[in-house]
Chain A
Amino acid sequence: MLVRRRRRILVAGKGIKREFREGPLAFARVEARGLTKRYGDREALRGVSFGADAGEQVAIIGPNGAGKTTLLSILAGILRPDEGEVALGGGAVGWVPQQAALYRRLTVEENLLLFARLERHPDPHASCREMLELTGLGERRGEIVARLSGGNQQRINIAIGLLARPAVLLLDEPSVGLDPRQRARLWEFVSGLAGGGTTVIFSTHDIQEAERYGGRLLVLADGEALFDGPAEELREAVRREAPEAADRDFETAFVAFLHHRGH
C-alpha cells in the first residue's frame, strides 16, 4: 500500500492516538520515492529514492550535511518532505534520535514507564521490565539518567524507541560517544532485532561500521543519493571510479569516490 508521507505527518500532528499492538513485532517494508526537502534556498534532499525490506539493515552514510538526519526525520514523520512520498507496509516506526531524547532528571525506570504509558501499553510495568532486561540496565533502574554514561543513556534512548514494538527502527548515528565495547553490545542488540524481522535503517559517519553492520549502504552527498547497494558493490564502484585509491583502506577509498563524484 502506498501512502503519501505528507498525509501521514499531518495526521500525526493532529494527535491521532496510537493503538498499541501486543504480541510479536510486525514486519514492514519501507519505500521512499523522490524525497526532496528544502531549507530556504538550500536543498537538503534532492529526489532521494530507496527501499528497505523487513529484517534488512540499511546504513546511510555520507559527509556532514549530506542529508542523513533529514532523510531519517522524514521517514520518522518529524519532517514533511516538500516533494516525494514514503510508503510503509504497516506497523509502528521506532525513532532513536542522534542525541538521547529522554529526561535526564528522571530515573531509568521513570523514563521507560513514562514512554510506555504514552505509548498506551496495556501493562507499562511489564514493558519497562522487558526493556530493562533488553538493555541490561535492570540493576540501574533507579538511577537518575543524568548520572549514567553516554553509552548507557544511548541504550535507554534506543529502548524507548523500541517501546512501540516497531516494525521499522530508525537510528540516527546511534554509536556516537560509545566506547568500542558499548558499540559492540549496541550492534549485537540491533542485529538481533533485525534478525527477528525488524527493518533497521541507521545513519553513521563510520564507514567500517556501515560496512560491517549495514546489509545495504545508501550513500548520500549534498542531498543526493550517490549509491544504493551492498558494501561489496560499493567497493567495486570505488575501484572502478577511483582506481588510484582502490588499494587504500575503505574509508580513504570512499573519500576518493566522493571526490570523484564531485563532493
Chain B
Amino acid sequence: MRWLLLKDVQILRRSPLQSALLVLYPVLIAVLVGFAISRGPEKPRVAFLNEVPQNSRIFVGGQKLPQANVQGRICKKVECVPVHSKAEAEDKVSSGEVLAALVLPEDLINKINSLSTLTPGTPEVEVIVNEEDPVKAGLVNDRITALMAQANLAIARRIANEGSHYLKLVIEGGKLPVLGSTIHILGLQASARILAALEPALPPGPLRSSLAQVTEFADQAGENLDIAGPLIDRLAEPIKVDKVVVGGSSPPLEVFAIAVAATFTLAFVTVLLVAGSLALEREENAFSRLVRGLVSETELLGEKVLLGVAVGLVVTLLMLAGLQIFVPLEWNRIGLWLAAIVVGGAALAAAGAALGALAREVRAVSLLAFMVTLPIAFLSLIPSGAIGADLYSVIKVIAALFPFKPALEALTGALDSSGPSIGGPLLHLAILLVAYLAIARLALRRFAAV
C-alpha cells in the first residue's frame, strides 16, 4: 500500500497547479474567513434626512427629551449618511451607495407629542428602499423594522416611567412642578391617615359613617393602585423573553465560522482528490493490472482513503494555523481536532471513493464530486425552523447520509469547549465510512469490467 501511496504523492507533485491549489486554497480561505470574523459585521449605510425643526422637542410628562437622542440612537445602530433632500436620499438608494434612506418628517415631533393629548396622531417616518434584489430588500426590511421597534420601545419606556411616577404621586403624595411653580400633592395614603384621625372627633351619625366610607375608599385606592405601578411598567415591554436552551450547545459564532470553513476545505480536498485519484487508476488502465493479484480492491480503496486523510489533515491544519493569526484557537484541544479531522476526512474520502468508482474519466468524476459535495454542504448548513418542517425533514435525511454535517459537528465540538460533544458525530462518521467503502467496493466490481 505504501508504494501506491508514494506513487500518488509523486503524481500529485508532478501536477504543479493541483499542488499549488492544495496549498493556496486553505491559505486563501483562512485569510478571508479570518478577516471576516475578526473585523465583525460593518454597520449598514443609511441615508438620513432630518426635516424636524431644530428647536422641536419631545415632551413626556412635562419634560423635554433632548433632540439629539433620536438621531443619536438611530446613528448608533447604522452608519448615517446625512442628506439634504428627499431626492438626494432617493438617488443614493437607487445607486446602491446606501442600503436605505430614513426620512424624519417635519411634523414627527408634533405627532409624537400629540400621543399624550386627547387627539393623538400617528407619528410616521419614511423609509426609502431599493427592492431590485430580494435578499437585500429582506435585509433592509429587517434592519429598519428592528430600528423602529427599538425607537418605539425607548419612547414607550419613557412614557411608562412617567405614568408610574404620576401614579406614585397620587398614592404617596409629593411635589409636582407646574408652569414654573411647584404644587404639593397630598396623596391617597396621607388623605386616608388624616380622614382616619378625624373620624373619632365626629359624633356618631350619618356624617361619621359617610366619613368612614371615604376613609375606607382612600385606604383601598391607595393599596390597590399600588399594584397598578408594576402593570404600567409592563406596558412598555409586556412580554419578556426568557430563553431556555433545551438542546445543543452553541459555541461562539467565530468558532462555528472557522469550523464551517475548515470542513468545507476538508470536504472538497478529500472528496475531489480521492474521487479523481481512483478514476485516474482506470483512466490510465492501471486498475485491471493492479487488481490482478498485486493489490486487492479493498487495499486500493484503503490507500485512497489514506491519501485523502493525509492530504486533508495537512491542508486543514494549515488552514487552522492561518486562522490562528486572526482568532485565538484552543490548541490544547488538538487531540480532539485530530480525531475530528481524521475520522471526518476518512468518511469524506470514502464518499469520494464511492463517487470515483462510478466513472472512468477523471474530469467526469471531478465534476460529479463537485456537483454532489457543494449542494449537500449548503443543505447541511440550513438550521431547523428556517424552512418548512417537511422539507427540513427531507434535508435532514440527505445531510445525514453525507459526511459533511457530522464532520462539521465533530469539528465544531473539537474546536471549542462550549461546542457539542464529538462522540455522536464520530460514531456517525464511522458508520458512513464503512457504508461508503462498501458502496465503493461494489461500484468498482460493477463498473470496472474491461
Q: Which residues of A contact B (CB under 8 A)?
A: 12-18, 69-70, 73, 76-79, 95, 97, 99-106, 110, 114-115, 117-119, 144, 160
Contacts and interface: CB of A to CB of B under 8 A. Distances in A.
B294 A119 contact: yes
Interface string B291-333: 1111111110000000000000000000000000000000000
Given A13-B297, A105-B14, 10 more contacts: A12-B292, A73-B450, A97-B285, A97-B288, A97-B450, A101-B284, A101-B288, A103-B11, A110-B7, A114-B3
B450 A78 contact: yes
A70 B289 CA distance: 15
A14 B6 CA distance: 23
A13 B285 CA distance: 17
A78 B292 contact: yes
26 contacts: A12-B291, A15-B293, A15-B296, A15-B298, A17-B293, A18-B293, A69-B450, A76-B292, A77-B292, A78-B291, A78-B450, A97-B289, A101-B285, A102-B284, A102-B285, A102-B286, A103-B11, A103-B286, A104-B284, A105-B10, A114-B3, A114-B6, A114-B7, A118-B4, A119-B294, A160-B289
A15 B7 contact: no
Contacts of A115: 289, 294
B15 interface: yes
Contacts of B290: 118
B245 interface: no
Contacts of B285: 97, 99-102
Question: Interface of chain A, helix or strand or loop or mixed?
Answer: loop
B366 to A, nearest CB: 16
Interface in B1-51: 3-4, 6-7, 10-11, 14-15
Contacts of B297: 13, 15
A106 B11 contact: yes
Contact of B11 (A97, A105, A119): A105
Contacts of B449: 79
B13 to A, nearest CB: 9
Contacts of B4: 114, 118
Contacts of A110: 7, 10
B299 to A, nearest CB: 6
A13 B3 CA distance: 19
Nearest to B14: A105
> Which 8 residue pairs of A and B lie closest in terms of their CB atoms, listed nearest first?
A15-B296, A101-B285, A118-B294, A101-B289, A117-B3, A105-B14, A12-B293, A105-B11
A40 B195 CA distance: 110
B294 to A, nearest CB: 4
Contacts of B3: 114, 117-118
Which interface residue of A13, A76, A99 has the most chain B CB atoms within 10 A? A13
A144 B295 contact: no
Nearest to A77: B292
A122 B78 CA distance: 75
A17 B296 CA distance: 9
Nearest to A100: B285
B11 to A, nearest CB: 5
